[in-house]
Structure 1
Amino acid sequence: MSKKNAFYAQSGGVTAVINASACGVIEAARENQDKIGKVYAGLNGILGALREELIDVSQESLEDIAALRHTPSGAFGSCRYKLKSLEENRAEYERLIEVFKAHDIGYFFYNGGGDSADTCLKISQLSETMGYPIQAIHIPKTVDNDLPLTDNCPGFGSVAKYVAVSTKEAAMDVASMCATSTKVFILEVMGRHAGWIAAAGALAQEEEGDAPHIILFPEVAFDKEKFLAKVQKTVDEKGYCVIVASEGAQYEDGTFLADAGTTDAFGHKQLGGVAPTLANLIKSELGLKYHWALADYLQRAARHIASATDVEQAYAVGRAAVEMAAAGKNAIMPAIIRAEGEEYSWSIAEAPLSEVANVEKFMPKDYISEDGFGITAAGREYLLPLIQGEDYPPYKNGVPQYAKLKKQLIEKKLDTEFKG
């Protein structure tokens, strides 16, 4: 039986370390050439498979593939494209199988979050029923850190480090000017339903009372009066107040503070900016001078300040995915398992996709302080190891040097085009 080729794709919002996972996949595949043939990457994620736009990874130099380990963004292109359910649009899944069959692809590596895990699971199930079985392995990636069964998600540690450092530095700025200038600073960070990223802002604190003074989590219902009282009290006592707010901060009824009234490609509510919403509230109710900042893409693209732990784990799950596939495994995800003990260590285990797909992991209650505005010692103990270590990219003329791939497409074999 001839060996099958592999397909790798990046999905959803990219991270500072998703390309480290790609590097792990490609390098491990080259080491398993007795079982895995060529590696093709989807141009712009799963759309690359649907459109039969497959990048021949073998055309990239070994040096450029190695450089992916220190390159941010999605080197092969990502997309926000959610496949509908099998019942709603079976044709899309059949199209994927058709493309895989045409190019002798027997391994499917999908690098993304919860929606990607769901797609991966469906592909493994449908391919079996269609008589062309595909080993589908999901590679975890999400800055939101909300995948189950894994201690943490590659991409999160670097965002956490960026948010902690940015909070610390901005707080120093505000503290130095608060006598005559800004009294309140708000940093808005990602996190629609889970407050992991916002929680990381607390790692800026070295002593009790240090900034950030308030953290807003999606898991804690926003209480306007309690919030405003905390802001005023902090300004009265310290002269200034620093807030880290999750974009998903919401009222008790589940309404987002910054609901824009629209949805994205995945059907998620689009949020219109919690920081300016809070700033306007503070101005109108308390009359305090403020500034706010939106971390946005900067937090997930900041490879120059990536966590070394995060880089190592992202690379490791990419390698593990290939090794699991080569061992005949299917419909699983390599998960990071934290070992017990005072010294931080971790390993990789297998997590079944049936228990990963469409399941979100939220901040545990015992990680959030009693007043709902900070984290506990247990939360700090969990977060701190994930931002450890520096893994700087090479610099030239004062700026980082990142990989630029050829992204050479292979010749199409199908007569039909994807309509979607």
Structure 2
Amino acid sequence: MTQGKLLYAQSGGVTAVINATAAAVIETARSHGVKVYAARNGILGVLREDLIDTSRESTSAVAALHHTPGGAFGSCRYKLKSPQTDDAEYVRLMEVMKAHDIRWFLYNGGNDSADTALKLSRLGRAYGHEIHCIGVPKTVDNDLTVTDCCPGFGSVARYTALSVREASLDVASMSETSTKVFILEVMGRNAGWIAASAGLAGEDADAPPHVILFPERHFDAKAFLAKVKATVQRVGYCTVVASEGIRDADGTLLSDTGSRDAFGHAQLGGVAPLLAQLVNEKLGMKVHWAVPDYLQRSARHAASATDLMQAQAVGKAAVEYALAGMNAVMPVILRERDTPYRWKIAPAPLARIANREKKMPKSFLTRDGFGITAAARRYLAPLIRGEAATPCGKDGLPLHATLKRVAVAKKLVPWKER
């Protein structure tokens, strides 16, 4: 076996295909004779020296991860302090990695995770333990820079487009005497990629969704109500898709709950009922609304085959980059052509990705701000193609991985959390 071990950790909100990346990491490392440890509950697991020995998992259990949603080893939202102001956490991380002979660290997450991997890649030698750090892309929001798209997004996009098309058929069938407006709230704090994917549900002007509300555009209640009213008069009903991150003209989030996560981000949710109340009060129409929330990112049964392949590809490439001696890079997806869709994996410096955010190009939004353009459709359509089949049991429900998650024996004093 190659000297040294590889440590894999999941970070932030999970996706329908993040475990496929984990499986690809483990399988690729095994093929090179490298043992893989997984941090239980992300970076917190490293600080706590709570590591899982994946070599104790069977080949079949690891393979089942390819069709299992959630985070198999646990994830977390935890903001590390700046090493310049307080390096205690970084010292601890290096102590844990040195104690367990961790030579490669793969951090599977988004912008903040890329920043953490970048900092660790620079601090290894300073703390007397050289380590190769690779950021592995994952985010349903599709907001990582450099990469053409983010593993996890394609499946959320497919789930969203499917949900809009199916729910709209229901609304249309009842619109004569019942519901006139249906509002679907989707994730998306600052970037409206998920909201945009709803536009794939239909192509002509009268096809749902009839109104999409993006965080890139300030919410104009008057214009919104006029669009809804005109659509109902013309089509008979109106399907609205609203990003949770929409703001008014003053920049205030419509759905800010007041609570904050570990990174200081506002916890969002509840824009759909607010819009429903507005439509009901101002237009007097019956409205139904839905907030799928976690259902969007856990819907492995509706995952995109393209997304699954890309999630597997970045996991495999991350291991190969690490073992080749690369440091402070991320395997990203590069689009070679739209039709037929062609893509490849290439390394990109974490310094170009960490703490940066990719928003929707202006060319992707229609002039009135309520829909997507042909350019957006060309970009989005390939990402939701193909059905990533999930094997089912005799009960008709999907079969998911069952892991042992055997803990690695601890060697250090317990970490005192602050």
Structure 2 letter corresponding to 1:213: H
Distance 2:128 2:314 in 1: 29
1:60 correspondence with 2:31: no
Other-structure match for 2:180: 183
Displacement of 1:180 in angstroms is 0.8
For residues 367 and 130 of structure 1, the distance between their equivalents in structure 2, rounded to whole angstroms, comes to 46
8 Å contact kept, 2:209–2:241: yes
Would you say the 8 A contact 2:306–2:386 is kept in 1? yes
* 1:111-163: CA deviation from partner (whole Å, max 9, x where unpaired): 00101001100111111211211100000000000000000000000000000
| 1:137 pairs with 2:130 | no
- TM-superposition CA deviations, 1:307-365 (whole Å, max 9, x none): 00000000000000000011110000000000035210100011100110000000000
Counterpart in 1 of 2:321? 324
Output the TM-score relative to the length of structure 2.
0.98
Q: 1:294 to 1:150 in 2, by over 3 A?
A: same
Residue 319 of structure 2 corresponds to residue 315 of structure 1: no
Tell me if structure 2 keeps the 8 A contact 1:50–1:418. Answer: no
Q: Name the SS of the counterpart of 2:124 in structure 1.
A: helix
CA distance in 2, matches of 1:157, 1:72: 14
Give the residue type in structure 2 aligned to 1:143: V
Q: 1:234 aligns with which of 231, 239, 254?
A: 231
Match of 2:250 in 1: 253
SS in 2 for 1:94: helix
Deviations 1:161-191 (A, max 9, x none): 0000000000000000011111110000000
> Percent of aligned positions with the same letter in both sequences?
61
Q: Are the counterparts in 2 of residues 185 and 292 from structure 1 also a CA contact under 8 Å?
A: yes
The answer to whether structure 1 residue 381 and structure 2 residue 381 are counterparts is no
What's 2:288 paired with? Answer: 291
- Does residue 43 of structure 1 match 2:31? no
Of the three residues 365, 369, 377, the one matched with 1:368 is 365
Cα distance in 1 for partners of 2:177, 2:406 equals 57
Deviation at residue 281 of structure 1 after TM alignment:
1.1
| Structure 1 position 113 matched with structure 2 position 73 | no
Q: Distance in 1 between matches of 2:208 and 2:85?
A: 49
Q: Measure the CA separation in 2 of the matches of 1:341 and 1:293.
A: 33
Aligned to 2:75: 78
Aligned length: 417
3-state SS of the aligned residue for 1:179?
coil
AA in 2 matched with 1:372: G
Aligned equivalents of 1:119, 1:293: Cα separation in 2: 35
- Structure 1 position 263, deviation (Å): 1.2
| Map of 2:210 onto structure 1 | 213
Cα distance in structure 1, aligned partners of 2:414 and 2:258 = 37
Give the root-mean-square deviation of aligned CA atoms. 1.2
Read off the aligned partner of 2:219 and give its amino acid letter. Answer: F
Change (3 A) 1:308 1:2: closer
Q: Residue 408 of structure 1 aligns with which residue?
A: 406
Structure 2 alignment gaps of length 5 or more: none
Distance 1:334 1:220 in 2: 31
Give how far 1:276 is off.
0.8
The answer as to whether partners of 2:208 and 2:238 remain within 8 angstroms in 1 is: yes
Call closer, same or farther: CA 1:312–1:342 in 2, change over 3 Å: same
Alpha-carbon distance in 1 for matches of 2:297, 2:6: 27
Query: 1:286: Cα distance to partner?
Result: 1.3
Task: Give secondary structure in 1 for the equivalent of 2:25.
Answer: helix
Could you tell me how far 1:2 is from its partner in structure 2?
6.8
The 1-side partners of 2:240 and 2:2 are apart by 58
Asked if the contact 2:48/2:414 (under 8 Å) is kept, the reply is no
1: CA distance between counterparts of 2:77 and 2:402? Answer: 22
2:332 aligned partner: 335
Q: CA deviation at 1:416?
A: 3.5
SS in 2 for 1:395: coil
Alpha-carbon distance in structure 2 between the residues aligned to 1:74 and 1:217: 28
Q: Is the contact between residue 5 and residue 37 of structure 2 (CA under 8 Å) also seen in structure 1?
A: yes
In the alignment, is the contact (CA less than 8 A) between 1:168 and 1:204 conserved in 2?
yes
Separation in structure 1 between the aligned mates of residue 353 and residue 203 of structure 2, nearest angstrom: 36
Following TM superposition, by how much is the alpha carbon of 1:251 offset from its aligned partner in structure 2, in angstroms? 1.6
Whichever residue aligns with residue 145 of structure 1, its letter is: N
Taking the aligned partners of 1:418 and 1:316, their CA distance within structure 2 comes to 37
Q: Deviations over 1:202-252 (max 9, x none)?
A: 110043310000000000111111011101111111111100100001123
Name the CA distance, whole Å, in 1 between partners of 2:179 and 2:42.
Answer: 43
**Is the Cα contact below 8 Å between 2:338 and 2:382 reproduced in 1?**
no
